[in-house]
Amino acid sequence: MKSKKIRNDLILIISLLVTFATILVVLYISRTSANLIANIYVQNHIVKRVSLDGEDQEFKIQGTNGELTIAVLNKKIGVKESNCPHKDCVKMGYIGETNRPIICAYNQVCIEIEGALVNDIEI
């Protein structure tokens, strides 16, 4: 009777461990496969799509009134330099989430992140 209880406890512990490990694996996969893409629009047209999962980079975008220097840094994207008067787009910093776009009204530039999120994963 006692050994049966120990065996049951073992089974419980092992199944807990397996569950825990599964959760960790799923979290890991969903993180790595999030594959964030930033769409950069000028006057509502996509001029560039850039993956945030790649290497850090910098490039220039021609806005309606001048040039913006966009930078990808640590899986985030932001405006590094801009010729706009108030620099609101630069002040917005770097975004790595899907819910908050960066807008430069002066140059009619919008940077928006799209993501293929956790829904795509089949367990």
Minimum CB–partner distance for residue 72 and Zn ion (Å): 18
Task: Select 72 or 104, whichever has its Cβ closest to Zn ion.
Answer: 104
Strands 36-42 and 102-104: unpaired
Minimum CB–partner distance for residue 102 and Zn ion (Å): 9
65 Rama sector, left if φ>0, alpha if ψ -120 to 50, beta otherwise: alpha
3: amino acid identity, one letter: S
Minimum CB–partner distance for residue 99 and Zn ion (Å): 20
Minimum CB–partner distance for residue 83 and Zn ion (Å): 8
**Which residues make beta-bridge pairs with 111?**
40, 102
Structure-derived torsion over alpha carbons of residues 77, 83, 84, 87, reported in degrees to the nearest 10: 50
Task: Select 52 or 106, whichever has its Cβ closest to Zn ion.
Answer: 106
Task: Select 30 or 108, whichever has its Cβ closest to Zn ion.
Answer: 108
Interacting residues with Zn ion (CB under 5 A): 82, 84, 89, 104
Task: Select 83 or 98, whichever has its Cβ closest to Zn ion.
Answer: 83
Could you tell me which of 65, 44, 52 has the C-alpha nearest to residue 107? 65
